[in-house]
Structure 1
Amino acid sequence: MSPIKLAVVDDQATIREALAVMLDLEADVDVVGRATNGAEAVELAAEHRPDVVLMDLNMPVMNGVEATRLIRQADPDVTVLILTTFDDDESILAALQAGASGYLTKEAGRATVLQAVRSAAQGQTVLAPEVQRRLLALASRPTGTTPSDDVACGLTAREREILQLIGEGLRNPEIAQRLVISEATVKTHINNLFAKAGFHSRADAVRYALRGRPADRGGHPLL
């Protein structure tokens, strides 16, 4: 298999270079570029078409959320994995809704970051444990909104239930345990709801499930 083409984006030179050097040592990872801000990241992605972009959030010129949105709009095949110091609700939701497929904090160790890059390259959603806890807390808040558009209306009650649990950050084994069904049954329901809703990844499902949640202190949704 070809190495994972990776771009590293961070405005702090020491962090950017440390990540690039560390990950480039792996036989299955090829760091194809580095960027110091979101605008550079967009240009880098267009030129090198990396498989994964490891993206910081708080950067000059253009932040990571806007860069993620532009990169994903230009090429949906590029996967963006957020690596940041911020784990607040607004940052998490903004990044996921911009198209990020994963969210880690910079407290993550080398092995965790490397595994996240590999998982993201395979199309998997990667969420740090603290991020999953925040998503669960968000999903537990009463908002007075439930999915009611054509997507949700086309799902069965069980599929809507599983979609909600995906939005809470639960993985398939956890969903199976919560609903007292087999993991194989969970996978079947997920395949069906993905086909009905047109989701291409678990990240799509997470963004959909969370899109009615408050995005900032004013309570205005991001979508």
Structure 2
Amino acid sequence: MKIKVLLVDDHVLILDGLKQLLDNEEDIEVINYLSNPSTLFTVIQQTFPDIVVMDVRIKTENGIELTKKILDVYPQIKVVILSGYDYDEYIQAAFQAGASAFVTKERSNDELVSVIRKSYQGNKVFPRNMAKINQTSMDLTRKEREILKLVAEDKTNYEISDELNISKRTVERHISSIIHKLEAESRVGAVVIGIRKGLLSV
């Protein structure tokens, strides 16, 4: 049985190159490729890929956020993130979003086939020891992520407590924890870091 792969990248030349690379492998089948993510979920529903190989940025979309959305609906799918940059923030954010692997584009030709096979087998493939990083400052709880999003929407502590039906003091404790975990110096700083690390969509 072949590994079914869906490619998503807004650079057509890269898509063509990746397709040619993977088409040469007997155990891999490129079932579709998209340069526009607007039809991503329709295509997933129609083709049921095993692996989605996706750029970290696709037009106006954030590949990290798309990864979260894919895995929320289709937790059995493995997502491999491609990036032109080997930034720690991108790697951490991809890991936090639940991606199975992170590959830089400059090395994708050499590594992608191997990474797809390893991801299909249930392995995590990242440039660094992300399991350790996952337990450190980036490990925001679901509630903290929710509050950080509301802070980014310029909501006051009172407005957040009212919206989430929790006390203002609890909101303050959560925000203090968020600032500490993200190693920020203020609410605004936490939002900026959150965006940079892919915790918030822009």
TM-score bracket for the superposition, by shorter chain length:
0.5 to 0.7
**Cα 1:14/1:42, change in 2 over 3 Å:** same
CA contact (8 A) 1:20 1:31 kept: yes
| Matching residue of 1:218 | 189
**Cα 1:4/1:146, change in 2 over 3 Å:** closer
| Matching residue of 2:90 | 91
Matched position secondary structure for 2:118: helix
What is the CA distance between 1:7 and its match in structure 2? 0.6
Spell out the pairing of 1:1-223 with structure 2 (5 A cutoff): 2-128=1-127, 132=128, 135=130, 214=182, 218-219=189-190, 222=199
- Measure the CA separation in 1 of the matches of 2:135 and 2:78: 28
Encode CA deviations 1:180-202: one digit per residue, 9 max, x unaligned. xxxxxxxxxxxxxxxxxxxxxxx
- Measure the CA separation in 1 of the matches of 2:104 and 2:19: 17
What is the CA distance between 1:96 and its match in structure 2? 1.9
What is the CA distance between 1:27 and its match in structure 2? 0.4
CA contact (8 A) 1:101 1:125 kept: yes
Q: Give structure 1 stretches of 5+ with no counterpart.
A: 149-211
| Matching residue of 2:151 | none
| Percent identical | 31
Q: Give structure 2 stretches of 5+ with no counterpart.
A: 142-179
Query: Which stretches of structure 1, 4 residues or more, deviate above 6 A after TM superposition?
Result: 145-148
The residue type equivalent to 1:106 in the other structure is K
Q: Which structure's CA Rg is the greater one?
A: 2
CA contact (8 A) 2:139 2:181 kept: no
Q: CA RMSD in A?
A: 3.2
The residue type equivalent to 1:218 in the other structure is G
TM-score by length of 1: 0.59
Encode CA deviations 1:138-194: one digit per residue, 9 max, x unaligned. 6798x5x9999xxxxxxxxxxxxxxxxxxxxxxxxxxxxxxxxxxxxxxxxxxxxxx
Encode CA deviations 1:74-117: one digit per residue, 9 max, x unaligned. 11011000011122233222222222111111121523110001
The residue type equivalent to 1:19 in the other structure is L
TM-score by length of 2: 0.64
- Measure the CA separation in 2 of the matches of 1:86 and 1:109: 12
- Measure the CA separation in 2 of the matches of 1:215 and 1:39: 35
- Measure the CA separation in 1 of the matches of 2:97 and 2:183: 12
- Measure the CA separation in 1 of the matches of 2:44 and 2:100: 16
The residue type equivalent to 1:115 in the other structure is S
What is the CA distance between 1:25 and its match in structure 2? 1.6
- Measure the CA separation in 1 of the matches of 2:16 and 2:59: 18
- Measure the CA separation in 1 of the matches of 2:183 and 2:30: 33
- Measure the CA separation in 1 of the matches of 2:52 and 2:34: 10
| Range with bigger deviation, 44-53 or 104-113 | 104-113
| Matching residue of 1:193 | none
What is the CA distance between 1:36 and its match in structure 2? 1.1
Q: How many residues align?
A: 153
